[in-house]
């Protein structure tokens, strides 16, 4: 009886040992090859498992090998790490190679932004981080990459110090701060200088950034901290002429009188009258016989200085140039204007007669003048 019990106990012990060995084999098999976790982006559809490796990335073989053993998530056919695709958009910025977008394959669980991906630039702006949308605000990026993503560069406009040169004017601001691609800040303009009116601030390419009141005329577009805008000045034209001149005409249409009068200029540069335009009044049409005015009525200006040639200005809607280059008024000043004397008369065709003899003054023509500033020479 004792002998059979010993045999039974030995049998049970053997079965337990066999079961333990079987369980150990199953555990080791699970450690060496685990069913697929995910698809490797670089080998679509291939199973991924856990591979036991040592520090030199060699597959672990036996308990007597290296004690520095770790786990790597790898392709079951390779030790190549799993990577995901992340897109970066410059959002009007560019990288040094001229690219405006970049696609980077980043190892799973590694930092989202590679060290060199932020080496991009944009004229007039500073890099200010990444956003999930093209016009969004910068947000904190995840500390590691777990899925494909798109990131858009954020930018902050630079500020610049701009010098204002009044070019002889006095008063007003001498500098301002400009923000790239934004309207200019309002500035106080200089006072008008003698004979000139402030016309705004311009760059050396004659582009206007400020108007005559110190308001913005253009957005700032220079990536430069050493720019000077210079004041432009418009000549102040101080030019007067008589409001009317009186001549006498008899019933036969003969001009029996003429009037001397003068132009006056208080402008700091010489002025030149280059054209005179004459338009007949409605009174002229009733004063002269039918058909006379369109054919022959003229205004006669005879300069007392310069050419003696008569200047006959047709009473039409077109400007008529003055012979010999026009009449020049010497430079003067507001307090000491110069004058230019002329004679005013009428030139009428032979046989002109009046429809009626007026009892008072009758306006015949309205005159206007084209005046240009010229150098003293």
> Could you tell me which CATH number the domain at 83-157 has?
2.60.40.4270
Q: Where are the domains of the chain?
A: 2-75, 83-157, 159-235, 242-374
Residues 6+ apart with CB under 8 A from 162: 175, 176, 177, 178, 220, 227, 228, 229
Residues 6+ apart with CB under 8 A from 137: 131, 154
Output b/e per residue, 209-240; b: 16+ Cβ within 10 A: bbeeebebeeebebeeeebebebbbeebebee
Looking only at the bridges linking them, the beta strands covering 175-179 and 159-165 are: antiparallel
Full pLDDT tens readout for the chain, 377 residues: 544 455 455 555 555 545 555 444 444 444 433 333 333 333 333 334 444 444 455 544 444 444 444 444 444 555 567 888 889 999 999 998 899 999 888 887 777 777 788 889 999 999 999 999 999 999 988 887 778 889 999 999 999 999 999 999 999 999 999 999 999 999 999 998 888 999 999 999 999 999 999 999 999 999 999 999 999 999 888 888 888 888 888 877 778 777 788 889 999 999 888 888 888 888 887 787 766 665 556 777 777 655 556 777 777 766 677 776 778 888 888 888 998 888 888 887 777 778 877 778 888 888 888 888 887 65
pTM over 0.85: no
- Which one-letter DSSP state was computed for residue 323? G
How would you class 60 by CB atoms within 10 Å of its CB: exposed for 0-12, middle for 13-18, buried for 19 or more? Answer: middle
Strand order, beta sheet including 259-265: 239-240, 259-265, 338-347, 298-303, 311-314
Nearest Cα to Cα of residue 340 among 257, 255, 235, 270 = 270
């Amino acid at each position: 009886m004792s002998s059979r019990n010993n045999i039974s106990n030995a049998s049970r012990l053997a079965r337990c040992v066999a079961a333990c060995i079987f369980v150990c084999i199953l555990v080791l098999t699970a450690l060496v090859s685990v069913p697929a976790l995910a698809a490797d982006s670089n080998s679509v559809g291939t199973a991924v498992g856990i591979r036991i490796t040592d520090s030199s990335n060699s597959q672990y073989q036996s308990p007597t090998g290296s004690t520095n053993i770790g786990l790597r998530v790898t392709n079951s056919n390779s030790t190549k790490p799993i990577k995901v695709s992340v897109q970066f958009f410059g959002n009007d910025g560019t990288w040094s190679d001229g690219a405006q977008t970049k696609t980077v394959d980043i190892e799973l669980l590694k930092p989202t932004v590679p060290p060199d991906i932020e080496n991009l630039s944009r004229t007039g702006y500073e890099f200010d981080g990444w956003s999930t949308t093209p016009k969004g605000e910068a947000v904190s990026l995840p500390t590691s990459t777990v899925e494909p993503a798109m990131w858009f560069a954020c930018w902050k406009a630079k500020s610049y110090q701009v010098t204002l040169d009044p070019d002889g004017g006095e008063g007003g601001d001498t500098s301002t701060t400009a923000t790239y691609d934004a309207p200019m800040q309002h500035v106080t303009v200089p006072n008008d200088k003698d004979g000139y009116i402030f016309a705004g601030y311009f760059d050396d390419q004659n582009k206007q950034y400020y108007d005559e009141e110190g308001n913005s005329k253009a957005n700032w577009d220079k990536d430069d901290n050493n720019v000077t805008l210079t004041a432009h000045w418009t000549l102040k034209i101080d030019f007067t002429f008589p409001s009317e001149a009186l001549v006498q005409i008899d019933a036969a249409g003969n001009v029996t009188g003429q009037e001397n009068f003068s132009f006056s200029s208080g402008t700091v540069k010489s002025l030149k009258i280059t054209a005179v335009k004459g338009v007949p009044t409605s009174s002229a049409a009733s004063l002269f016989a039918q058909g006379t005015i369109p054919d022959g009525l003229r205004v006669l200006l005879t300069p007392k200085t310069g050419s003696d040639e008569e200047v006959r200005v047709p009473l039409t809607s077109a400007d008529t140039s003055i012979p010999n280059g026009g009449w020049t008024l010497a430079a003067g000043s507001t307090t000491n204007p110069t004058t230019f004397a002329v004679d005013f008369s009428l030139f009428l065709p032979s046989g002109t007669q009046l429809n009626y003899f007026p009892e008072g003054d009758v306006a015949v023509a309205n005159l206007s003048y084209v005046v240009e500033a010229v150098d003293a020479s």
